[in-house]
Amino acid sequence: MNPLIAPSILAADFANLQKEVEMINDSVADYIHVDIMDGVFVPNISFGLPVVEAVNRHAKKPLDVHLMIVEPDKYLEAFHKAGASQITVHLEACPHLHRTIQAIKALDCKAGVAVNPHTPVRHLQDIIREVDTVLIMSVNPGFGGQEFIENTYKKIQALGELIVETGSHAKIEIDGGVSIGNAKKLFEAGANVLVAGNFVFSSENPIETINNLKFIV
Ligand code: DX5
Ligand code: ZN
């Protein structure tokens, strides 16, 4: 078994987005990770629906859409129409998380829930059986290229225990500061999906970098 790899196009060259998506198509990546930031939930704005639609026109891998926005319920259908295969919302942005997760599933999308570095994974206890993925933020959301937070390993372990305890089938996805320096340790700790932005797109040969992340074990 190998980790699933989700290159984050937040770190791509937006002026050459088609080329960047084609690079991901040609690689062993499993998903295209799409970061949506609203300038409210996080202190940054990335891009919106027309860009997701444009990416989807060229993508041959499923779009893993990570919504770092308040009131995500308003936009679930629009992101589904724009091409999302999986939609991940933040626990911290959803006062009615159960309802939001059901709404994503009703669209026939995979449903993910993300937790910020300060949010204990035990807060997922009563929702974890409903979700396809739990995304653990290993940096504070809002920017690519930040330093990986070491406490993430403990959270992966605690989440793994919660998954076993509850009989959940959720995948564990790690987002932020992932590189060849921690990919193996993350996978061994129990991570199933690794998101990587800067490490992939700043490398000389992104296709080879994606390959290395996937086959590091
Ligand atoms: C951060 C985003 C991440 C980001 C990861 O808020 O959710 O997906 O693109 O970028 P790197 O891998 O550069 O930390
Ligand atoms: Zn992300």
The CATH number that applies at residue 104 is 3.20.20.70
Q: Domain of residue 99: give its range.
A: 4-215
Nearest Cα to Cα of residue 193 among 169, 216, 173:
173
Q: At 175, is the pLDDT very low, low, confident or very high (cuts 50, 70, 90)?
A: very high
Count of the separate structural domains present in the chain: 1
State the complex-level ipTM.
0.99
Confidence (pLDDT) at 1: 85
117 lines ligand 1 (CB under 6 A): no
What phi-psi label fits residue 32: left (phi over 0), alpha (psi between -120 and 50 degrees) or beta? beta
CA of 45 to the centre of ligand 1 (A): 13
Q: What is the average pLDDT score of the chain?
A: 98
CA of 145 to the centre of ligand 1 (A): 7
Confidence (pLDDT) at 130: 98
pLDDT digits (tens, 9 = 90+) for 45-94: 999 999 999 999 999 999 999 999 999 999 999 999 999 999 999 999 99
The structure's pTM equals: 0.98
